[in-house]
Amino acid sequence: MVQSSVLGYPRIGENREWKKALEAFWAGKIEEAELQETLKQIRLTHLRKQQAIGIDLIPVNDFSYYDQILDTAAMFGIVPKRFDYAGGPVPLSVYYGMARGTAEATACEMTKWFNTNYHYIVPELGDAAPVLTENKALAAYREAKEELGIEGKPVIVGPLTFLKLSKGYQAEEAQAWLNKLVPLYAQLLQELGAEGVQWVQVDEPILVTKLSKGELEQLQGVYATLAAAAPNVNLIVQTYFEAVDQYEALTSLPVKGIGLDFVHGLAGNLAAIRKYGFPQDKVLGAGVIDGRGIWKADLAGKLDLLNELAAIVPADRLIVQSSCSLLHVPVSTRQETKLEPVLLHALAFADEKLAEVELLARGLSSGTSAIAEDLTASKLAIEALEQSEARSRLDIQAAAAQIAAVPAERNQPFAARHAAQEAHWHLPFLPTTTIGSFPQTAEVRKARQAWRKGEWNEEQYAAFIHEQIDYWMKLQEEIGLDVLVHGEFERTDMVEFFGEKLAGFAFTSNGWVQSYGSRCVKPPVIYGDVAFVEPMTVKETQYAQSKTNRPVKGMLTGPITILNWSFVREDLTREQIAYQLAYALRQEVEALEQAGIGMIQVDEPAVREGLPLKAEEHAGYLAWAVKAFRAATCTVADTTQIHTHMCYCEFHDMIDSIEAMDADVISIETSRSHGELIESFEHHTYPLGIGLGVYDIHSPRVPSIDEMTAMIERALRVLDPKLFWINPDCGLKTRGIAETAASLRNMVAATKAARAKHAGSEVTV
């Protein structure tokens, strides 16, 4: 009999009850006992849903009070010394201190979970002495069994993945750390075995990345030890997000099951199983339902895939499951009553994916006739969306194809444009600017809410926005900035704002997903051909320009960032969608230029976020990502200056691509890692305009003039002073008015000091 399972379920609750409970606790509005009880009820609700639908192997211990990697660190007592921790189970005060920081100690680092938009807390190993402080997996198993009679499948983060995602140790110390961690995993599994646990899901997504020979040997050693330590526990080593490169090494592990992603890793994993077969002593967890996308599955196609797998792996050794945890999708479509039916009927969030998993397992066990009605409904829903008017814009499809076929280049190379722009703009040496947004106060948010609710009409809201622009235009001039911005007070989110104004986008009512901690986002849905409708930013930017003689930058979000921060349609490649976005944004760029805006910033903070997990696929992705940016910006006059902004990343491995974007000026968020970026430029000359953020906007403190002067001096050692701009490292949306003004005044003062010191550098380098 084929079994069904999922790899995890969203923890936030259908109405974000989880988020609300956490934030109430942090604010001191509820006590710890109430938090514990609230989260327990949310957890049990999630288990009941899976039980009611008929999922056979229901995951437990996938629920978290913040993040699953942080949970693992806490379970092993890996707590940095700056926190007040004396051993034993980690108190919530310490747990949340590690995640969010305290008055006395900075938070642990947070970074992206592989190539998703989820972020995890990075464990700091350092000189920690790990012990098993509490068996969280055992507690979760007991709760599910005692409360609901569920024989749960505990989920734990595997030792190799946990180690590889941690910091605070040298590469040559990896084996020593495994020697410390693996006995704790063995103890955890032995305790689960003693309790009668049958299956344990050990998440090892690191196995879809390239492993060295030494790491493969470590992999074998780890699982030989764990299998020997708990022989009565069925371990399923679970991979996801991509295909595994070392299929033979993985399938030779002495474990009961192997989980593979047959969605995002379909081509590679299917090719491997066709070539090498599958061990007769193992169960295959076939991840056929997309745990990251929001679209209904082609159930007939999935059933064909499962039947092919069943010809290699007998059905009694197959588990039909999601490709990864459902953490990455919204909870349910039940509240999406405002969406067009043709779109709504094509969506599947977490609850709908549970039903799809169960259906496929039943269809594989009992035959197509058992689920014939559901197969037909799936087919009709998918076809209706594919044939809809929203996906039939032949003009947009032709324009995107033209972008793909033709080089995207400015009329002149940068050197010629730079000369034309200098003659046109007459900017001072070391020009100053900001990244785009200014503080969005409670007053701003309240006004926007009143407008959205219909309590304010368009005229009232426009007048309010003009008041905000007036204030900040005057303040920018008073502070002494050279290139000004309108402040973006009319915008909520840098992607949502544009999605609401472009054709081809839809917005859910309750499609929230966890980004990090209690931070939830509601990504736009790109469901149709993306098309420009009318100018989106011209009105506010033109108004701001009318208030000053200094240049005002138009502010847009770039095509790759919009793509990477949205749920996107599956019938086109991401490259094709990027070109549609580029074509729409090109029309906005041209509209700004025609309105007299001669500096236009097209932000791309998420370019690196979209890098594939496979290194061999990086070049292809970067090529079309760069082309999409250039296509959006290449039609302007030589005197029109194109800016972009990128958030901090490991630039050394994509510096060539950044240069290839051919922006006249790029600003980079680097204040926290200035040294690393300066080192990159010591080895790679950057010949275009650049602004390295000279102060960290994420901190409420006001940086001193001396601090920023030091930042400027370090940058000028390796960058051409003639091409250097001075700016904060990111937008100022989340900061207060007083601190923003004080920080910018200090930035301008530091700039004046640098101008005095480097007088003459603007003409001779």
Name residue, tokens 């900017």: 427
730 among annotated binding-site residues: yes
- Name the residue among 276, 326, 420 with its Cα closest to residue 46: 326
Burial of residue 481, with CB atoms counted within 10 A of its CB: 0-12 exposed, 13-18 middle, 19 or more buried? buried
17 among annotated binding-site residues: yes
Q: String of b and e for 617-652 (b: at least 16 CB within 10 Å)?
A: ebeebbebbbbbbbbbbbebebebbbbbbbbbbebe
DSSP string, 147-202: HH----EEEEE-HHHHHHT-BSS-GGGHHHHHHHHHHHHHHHHHHHHHHT--EEEE
324 among annotated binding-site residues: no
435 among annotated binding-site residues: yes
113 among annotated binding-site residues: no
* Cβ neighbours of residue 470 closer than 8 Å, sequence gap 6 or more: 547
Q: Are 434 and 727 in contact (CB under 8 A)?
A: yes
669 among annotated binding-site residues: yes
Pairing of strands 110-112, 119-121: antiparallel
520 among annotated binding-site residues: yes
Active site residue 698: yes
The active-site residue out of 618, 674, 683, 698 is: 698
- Name the residue among 244, 210, 201 with its Cα closest to residue 61: 201
Hey, which residues does 267 pair with through a beta bridge?
none
Reading the block at residue 542, the tokens are 């033109």
- Name the residue among 530, 513, 531 with its Cα closest to residue 522: 513
DSSP string, 493-533: STTHHHHTTSEEEE--SS--EEEETTEEE---EEEEEEE--
472 among annotated binding-site residues: no
Interhelix angle 350-366/32-53, nearest 10 degrees: 30
* Cβ neighbours of residue 529 closer than 8 Å, sequence gap 6 or more: 390, 391, 392, 393, 396, 397, 503, 504, 580
Reading the block at residue 185, the tokens are 């995993």
Most distant CA pair in the chain, distance: 82
Q: Are 320 and 2 in contact (CB under 8 A)?
A: yes
437 among annotated binding-site residues: yes
491 among annotated binding-site residues: no
Distance CA 68, CA 56 (A): 23
603 among annotated binding-site residues: yes
Distance CA 650, CA 526 (A): 29
362 among annotated binding-site residues: no
Pairing of strands 3-5, 318-322: parallel
- How much is the CA Rg of the chain, to the nearest whole Å? 27
Rounded to 5°, angle at Cα 38 from 35 and 44: 135
Distance CA 298, CA 262 (A): 13
16 among annotated binding-site residues: yes
Distance CA 449, CA 460 (A): 13
Distance CA 393, CA 385 (A): 13
Known binding site for Zn(2+): residues?
645, 647, 669, 730
Which residues does the annotation place in the binding site for 5-methyltetrahydropteroyltri-L-glutamate?
16-19, 112, 117, 519-520, 565, 609
Annotated binding site for L-methionine: 435-437, 488, 603
Can you say which residues are annotated as belonging to the binding site for L-homocysteine?
435-437, 488, 603
Binding site feature residues: 16-19, 112, 117, 435-437, 488, 519-520, 565, 603, 609, 645, 647, 669, 730
Residues designated catalytic: 698
